[in-house]
Amino acid sequence: MKLRIDLNLTVNHKKIRRIMKERELRSIVRPKFRKPKEAEITKPNILNRDFTASKPMEKLVTDITYIPTPHKMMYLSVIIDLFDTFPIAWHISDTPDRSLSIDTIKKIKRPERLSEAIIHSDQGIHYTNSDYVNLLKELGIKQSMSRKGNCWDNACAESFFSQYKSECIHLYKSRIKKPSDVYEVTAEFFDFYIYHRPQKKLNGLTPYQYRKSLGLI
């Protein structure tokens, strides 16, 4: 391009390459920048599809789902207690980075109760990065992961999101005009799910009523 602009000389790259070779000329090649890939820390499948728990905070499952809006995608991270399907923490963000899973853990009330608990997830970057793994280690939480590409290993979390999408996102689709609307309808859903939605698994009680009946609240 420089030869064409300055000298009105049109040559192809092969001729330039030949002339440079004859004169032993070398161009300076900029190295391609490649962001180093962080090593993934995977854990064995301790849960092994045993979705029963004898007490609260014994076995937890976590996952992330996406919520489309007319302007941008939103992401919901949730942690479910398998003892009574109680959502013990949830967090919404417009950025699906690793902080999404970390911020969800930090929202758990009385984290000291998590010592020796098992938390199960898939093998996504949200759960295999060192910051998340180290946070769980500090809290004394045992980490369990689904096998690669096997959604059935985390079926309870998938089931919860299916209910959330059906009874919240699809039901109130017309209300979701902007990202802030996702926070509003999701808060309403969690209030309904915890305090008003009876569950067959809990003998027709809501998660809140079930815990109260056992003297846990």
- DSSP assignment of 82-131, as one string? TTTTEEEEEEEESS-STHHHHHHHHT-SSGGGGTT-EEEE-SSHHHHSHH
Q: What is the pLDDT of residues 91-133, one digit of tens each?
A: 999 998 989 999 999 999 887 788 889 999 999 999 999 999 9
CA angle 129, 130, 135 (to 5 degrees): 110
> How many angstroms separate the CA atoms of 124 and 133, rounded?
12
Residue pLDDT, tens place only, 46-102: 999 999 999 999 999 999 999 999 888 999 999 999 999 999 999 999 998 989 999
Instruction: Give the three-class secondary structure for 14.
Output: helix
Total count of residues recorded for the chain: 217
Domains of the chain: 59-213 (3.30.420.10)
Per 3-state DSSP, the chain is made up of helix, strand and coil in percentages (nearest 5) of 40, 15, 40
pTM for the predicted model, two decimal places: 0.80
Q: What is the pLDDT of residue 32?
A: 65
Give the chain's mean pLDDT.
91
